[in-house]
């Protein structure tokens, strides 16, 4: 919500929210989005789209904040009693949202042993964007990215991948290969897709610099424009 405010977006919330999968690093801000937008005068339920299990997560989240919600409604804040709620849509592959010229299509990706993980393609009258979500290389992403203007894709550094000195650290290379996409692999993928712009995000650096990550992309064969995504960047 702080980033939305910094980007000068409405802090009473977006029209809809799309969740790729239920890993904690992708959902820890979920309660903040729902409750803060309500406190900042969201007046209707928020539409939430994501994998199966999202409804249970949402129900448990509301249960954990039940005292907070009660005080805000019954106390002097006088929050709107119905506005904090959300409508959860547990999705399947295909078009999941189509409104005011914006169409969003979900496609399955391969993220380790997660039973459901999605990427999203966003089509507007002027542009198209694919957001990979967390995934290792997969055909579904390539197929969903045909003629896309911008590909926003996760990445890790192949050059610095090595076992780590921590409990379970010996499995780190296997984890990255089964759950994520290396810079070299991403270069190979982008070479096929040919986006006008490749934005690297969800970066697992392990010591890699921006320049080394881009080098990995070039090694994979992609020669187009590639940038390291940072919060509040505009393209």
Residue 120 φ then ψ, to 5°: -130, 135
Place of tokens 């406190």: 39
Nearest-angstrom CA–CA distance, 181 and 177: 7
Catalytic residues: 25
Q: For the chain, how many helices (H) and strands (E)?
A: 8, 10
Per-residue burial over 100-131, b = 16 or more CB atoms within 10 Å of its CB, e = otherwise: eeeebbbbbbbbbebebbbbbbbbeeeebbbb
Is the separation of the CB atoms in 79 and 85 below 8 Å?
A: no
CB 74: neighbour CB atoms within 10 A? 11
Contacts of 97 (CB under 8 A, 6+ apart): 16, 18, 49, 103, 104
Nearest-angstrom CA–CA distance, 203 and 212: 12
């Amino acid at each position: 919500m702080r980033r939305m405010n910094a980007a000068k977006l409405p802090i009473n919330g977006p029209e809809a929210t799309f969740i790729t999968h239920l890993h904690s690093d992708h959902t820890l801000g979920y309660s903040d989005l729902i409750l803060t937008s309500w406190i900042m005068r969201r007046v209707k339920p928020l539409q939430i789209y994501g994998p199966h299990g999202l409804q249970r997560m949402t129900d448990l989240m509301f249960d954990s904040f039940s005292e907070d919600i009660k005080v805000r409604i019954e106390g002097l804040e006088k929050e709107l009693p119905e506005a904090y709620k959300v409508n959860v849509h547990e999705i399947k592959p295909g078009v999941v949202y189509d409104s005011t010229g914006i169409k969003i299509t979900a496609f399955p990706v391969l993220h380790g042993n997660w039973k459901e993980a999605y990427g999203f393609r966003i089509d507007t009258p002027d542009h198209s964007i694919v957001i990979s979500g967390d995934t290792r290389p997969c055909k579904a992403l390539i197929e969903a990215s045909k003629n896309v203007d911008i590909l926003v894709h996760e990445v890790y550094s192949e050059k610095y991948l090595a076992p780590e000195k921590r409990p379970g650290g010996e499995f780190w290379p296997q984890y990255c290969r089964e759950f994520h996409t290396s810079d070299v692999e991403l270069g190979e993928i982008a070479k096929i897709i040919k986006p006008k712009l490749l934005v690297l995000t969800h970066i697992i650096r392990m010591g890699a610099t921006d320049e080394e990550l881009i080098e990995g992309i070039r090694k994979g064969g992609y020669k187009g424009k590639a940038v390291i995504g940072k919060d509040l960047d505009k393209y």
